Each structure stands twice: as structure tokens, then as C-alpha cells.
């Protein structure tokens, strides 16, 4: 495992050159701003959202696989396939992003973000939407589900504007885009707009991946260089970065609107090459003995793989769902398990090095992606079995996270500080 000495705490983003000092809650008088305040679970945004999204990942994927294979009846107010896609993208991925940003914006600005009762309300909105998806009439689910993303975006935009932090406003603004796409999804399911609900899910997948492309470009090369003495600069030129992000956005946009297949395939191939070049400049091979780093590189590798599969699917050579799951399981799943361990360790006062159990969880998510995506490409007859195995691997990975991190997320930091 990663046996090099590591600091017990770092800014959640690791790249903004701003201290992640513990800030007292707004309106709370405290002689010692580092003294713990309130219920530990509601001291910082990552705590309830990481815990909730890990539980969602652990429970819903086995349920979905069993339902898809006809092993479990699933009575919902809308098609089960749409439920699965929506909960993974708007429940799981967007929930992690919300928890991350509710924590990161405090580090970026030095200003307080929601905690205590307000954070509890935001977490409760997320939870109620997940329950309403399976228990309530669809209209109620839609209304409840559309509340969280705009609320978090408006709150965080206000903090960034107050701090004069313009650099990260576009990143937070993407959450408003996600909120709009979520509204379109619900209107599509209700037959109120002439847009396929699946297209809205594809748009959300693209938005989440764009957030990942921006954030990984900032943090992964820095994390790698910080623990590798003598490593030469490993950031691609700024023009390359801008071209890569622009082309990626265009390729995703054309895919979402179902542009001519040959055009989408061509752009996807170019995007695959550019993303692989970007990853290679980050020196992924130097991270092989450091699981908390190699998971970030390994997860990013699924972006060029996903684009290659997207090109193949546009040509009719493979099922489109294989490209979607390369992005969803490999990239999003891998980055999520990597970041919710790394940032939770840092913000609970623990060393930034992965234990054997965490390394196993990383491997399980990557194996789940291989089994879910690549096995059906090689042997289509094994599709049903690949779903079963991949779902089990995924659930086991997030079960390990819940077992390890559940107590950490609900208790005071190891160093006794607030946050």
C-alpha cells in the first residue's frame, strides 16, 4: 500500500493554494473556531452526502440487476430503466458532487458553507427524493427531486460571489445546468415536452463527465507530483487543455442531440486520443504503488475507452449501453470511490494513504467496469452473467466504504477539530 508519510489534512481541492482552515458556523460565536460544533454528521457537506450516496450505490445496483434479469419484481411509477439511470446520475453522481462542493467551496473561499440544520435540510431533500422515487406517485417524486440541485447551486454561488472567487463560478453553474436537465427529464417522463427521457439522462452523464474532466485536470497531476519527488512538470499546455475540453463538450453535445453518427464517431475518436495523451502526461505509471493515486488515473483511463466504445456504437458495432457504462461505472464510479475516500480521510484528520481494504474497494470498482463493459464486447453471450457479477463487485466495493467510513463520517475528526 501507500506507505509514504502523508499529511493528515489537505485542502479538499488540493490546487487552489488556499488554506482549508476550519471556519466557525455563520452566526455562531466561538472562541476557538477549531472546536467541534454540533452533530458530527452535519458539520461539513461531505459527511451526509458521501454516506448517503455510498448507501444508495450499495443498495440500488443489486436491486436493479435482479429486476433487469427478472429475479425481482420492481413496481415503480415510471419505467425501471429510467429509474436506474436517474438514480445513478441524479441521486448518486450529483449527490457526491453536491457533497464535494459544499465542502470545497469553504476551502476555496474561507467562508462558511451550509452546516447544522441547513445542511440537514439539504441532505433530507436528497433522501426524500430517493424514497419518493420508489414509494410516491411520480408527480410528487418529480417535485421533491427538483429542489436540491438549484438550492445547492444558489447557496454556493452566493458564497463564491461574496468571496470574489470568479474562477469557480462556472463550475458551480454547471449544477444549474444539471437542475435544468433534471427538470427536462421529469417533464419528458410526464409527456409534457417532446424530448426523450433517455436523452436527458445522456445530457446529465455528459455534464457529470465535463465536471470530472475539469476537476481531474486540476487535481490529478498535482496530487501525483506532490508525492513523487523529482517528477518533472506534468501539466499539458493550456491550449491543449482548452482544445481538449472544447472538443469533449462538442462531442458530448452532438451525441446527446443524436447528430449524424459518422460525425459523432469521428469526434469521439479524436477525443479518445486527446484524453489518452492527457492521461499519459500525468505519469500514471509512477502511481502504481500508491492506490489512493492510481485509482484516479485508472478511472480517468475509462474516458478514452468510453469514447472509443462510443465511436464503435455509433457505427453499429456494439450496444450503445456499453459506452454509457464505460463512462458511468469506470469513470464516474472509479473517480467517486477514489475521491470520497481521499477527501473524507483528509477532512476527518486521517493520513492520505489507502489501507488494504480501500485498495480492494478500488480494484472491485475497476473490475466491475471491466466485467460490465468489456466482457460483453468480447463475449456477448455472457451479457446477463456480466451484469450479475459486475453488480456484485460494485456493491461489495461500496459496502467496504460504508463499513470503514460510516463510523468516521458520523464522529468527530480524529484530531478533535471542527469539520
Mean local confidence (pLDDT), 344-372: 96
pLDDT of residue 33: 60
Q: Is residue 19 part of a domain?
A: no
Would you say residue 28 has pLDDT above 70? no
What would you measure as the largest C-alpha separation in the chain, in angstroms?
66
Q: What are phi and psi of 162, to 5 degrees?
A: -65, -35
Q: Is residue 22 part of a domain?
A: no
Say if residues 164 and 114 touch (Cβ distance below 8 Å): no
What does the alpha-carbon distance between residue 59 and residue 74 come to, in Å, rounded to a whole number? 14
149-159 residues labelled b (16+ CB within 10 A) or e (exposed): bbbbbebbbeb
Which residues fall within 8 angstroms of residue 253, CB to CB, at 6 or more apart? 206
pLDDT of residue 232: 75
pLDDT of residue 13: 40
Instruction: Name residue, grid cell 480521510.
Output: 345
Q: Is residue 313 part of a domain?
A: yes
What does the block give as the cell for 347?
477532512
Would you say residue 18 has pLDDT above 50? no
Say if residues 413 and 348 touch (Cβ distance below 8 Å): yes
Q: Is residue 238 part of a domain?
A: yes
Mean local confidence (pLDDT), 202-218: 95
Say if residues 12 and 344 touch (Cβ distance below 8 Å): no
Query: Pick from 327, 326, 361: which is nearest to 344 by CA?
Result: 361
27: left (phi over 0), alpha (psi -120 to 50) or beta: left
Average pLDDT, the chain: 90
Instruction: Name residue, grid cell 421529469.
Output: 186
Residue 145: domain span: 40-225+232-409
What does the alpha-carbon distance between residue 355 and residue 358 come to, in Å, rounded to a whole number? 5
Mean local confidence (pLDDT), 136-155: 97
pLDDT of residue 234: 72
| Domain count along the chain | 1
What does the alpha-carbon distance between residue 46 and residue 39 come to, in Å, rounded to a whole number? 14
Please write the tens of the pLDDT for every residue from 288-345: 999 999 999 999 999 999 999 999 999 999 999 999 999 999 999 999 999 999 999 9
Q: Is residue 378 part of a domain?
A: yes
pTM of the model: 0.91
Say if residues 329 and 346 touch (Cβ distance below 8 Å): no
Would you say residue 38 has pLDDT above 60? yes
Say if residues 48 and 64 touch (Cβ distance below 8 Å): no
Please write the tens of the pLDDT for every residue from 225-270: 888 877 776 778 889 999 999 999 999 999 999 999 999 999 999 9
Mean local confidence (pLDDT), 100-120: 95
Using pLDDT thresholds of 50, 70 and 90, give the confidence band for residue 32: low
Distance in angstroms between the alpha carbons of the first and the last residue of the chain = 27
Mean local confidence (pLDDT), 381-396: 96
Say if residues 345 and 352 touch (Cβ distance below 8 Å): yes
CATH number of the domain where residue 148 is located = 1.20.210.10
Say if residues 294 and 334 touch (Cβ distance below 8 Å): no
Amino acid at each position: 500500500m501507500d506507505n509514504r508519510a502523508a499529511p493528515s489534512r489537505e485542502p479538499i481541492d488540493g490546487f487552489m493554494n488556499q488554506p482549508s482552515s476550519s471556519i466557525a458556523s455563520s452566526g455562531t460565536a466561538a472562541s476557538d473556531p477549531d472546536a467541534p460544533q454540533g452533530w458530527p454528521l452535519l458539520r461539513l457537506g461531505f459527511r451526509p452526502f458521501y454516506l448517503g450516496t455510498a448507501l444508495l450505490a450499495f443498495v440500488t445496483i443489486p436491486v436493479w440487476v435482479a429486476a433487469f434479469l427478472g429475479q425481482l419484481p420492481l413496481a415503480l411509477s415510471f419505467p425501471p430503466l429510467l429509474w436506474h439511470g436517474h438514480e445513478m446520475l441524479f441521486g448518486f453522481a450529483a449527490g457526491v458532487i453536491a457533497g464535494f462542493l459544499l465542502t470545497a467551496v469553504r476551502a476555496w473561499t474561507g467562508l462558511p458553507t451550509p452546516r447544522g440544520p441547513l445542511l440537514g435540510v439539504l441532505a433530507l431533500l436528497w433522501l426524500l427524493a430517493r424514497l419518493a422515487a420508489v414509494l410516491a406517485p411520480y408527480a410528487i417524486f418529480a417535485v421533491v427531486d427538483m429542489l436540491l440541485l438549484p438550492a445547492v447551486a444558489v447557496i454556493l454561488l452566493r458564497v463564491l460571489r461574496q468571496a470574489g472567487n470568479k474562477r469557480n463560478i462556472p463550475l458551480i453553474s454547471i449544477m444549474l445546468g444539471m437542475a435544468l436537465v433534471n427538470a427536462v427529464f421529469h417533464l419528458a417522463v410526464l409527456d409534457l415536452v417532446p424530448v426523450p427521457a433517455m436523452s436527458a439522462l445522456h445530457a446529465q452523464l455528459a455534464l457529470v463527465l465535463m465536471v470530472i474532466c475539469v476537476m481531474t485536470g486540476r487535481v490529478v497531476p498535482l496530487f501525483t507530483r506532490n508525492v513523487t519527488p523529482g517528477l518533472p512538470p506534468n501539466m499539458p499546455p493550456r491550449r491543449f487543455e482548452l482544445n481538449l475540453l472544447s472538443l469533449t463538450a462538442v462531442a458530448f453535445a452532438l451525441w446527446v442531440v443524436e447528430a449524424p453518427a459518422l460525425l459523432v464517431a469521428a469526434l469521439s475518436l479524436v477525443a479518445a486520443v486527446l484524453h489518452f495523451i492527457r492521461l499519459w502526461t500525468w505519469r500514471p505509471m509512477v502511481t502504481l504503488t500508491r492506490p489512493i493515486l492510481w485509482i484516479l488515473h485508472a478511472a480517468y483511463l475509462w474516458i478514452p475507452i468510453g469514447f472509443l466504445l462510443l465511436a464503435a456504437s455509433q457505427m453499429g458495432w456494439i450496444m450503445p449501453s456499453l459506452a454509457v457504462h464505460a463512462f458511468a461505472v469506470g469513470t464516474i464510479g472509479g473517480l467517486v470511490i477514489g475521491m470520497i475516500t481521499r477527501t473524507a480521510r483528509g477532512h476527518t484528520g486521517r493520513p492520505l494513504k489507502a489501507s488494504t481494504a480501500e485498495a480492494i474497494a478500488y480494484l472491485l470498482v475497476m473490475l466491475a467496469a471491466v466485467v460490465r463493459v468489456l466482457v460483453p464486447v468480447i463475449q456477448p453471450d455472457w451479457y446477463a452473467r456480466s451484469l450479475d457479477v459486475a453488480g456484485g463487485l460494485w456493491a461489495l466495493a461500496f459496502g467496504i466504504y460504508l463499513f470503514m467510513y460510516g463510523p468516521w463520517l458520523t464522529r468527530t475528526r480524529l484530531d478533535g477539530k471542527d469539520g
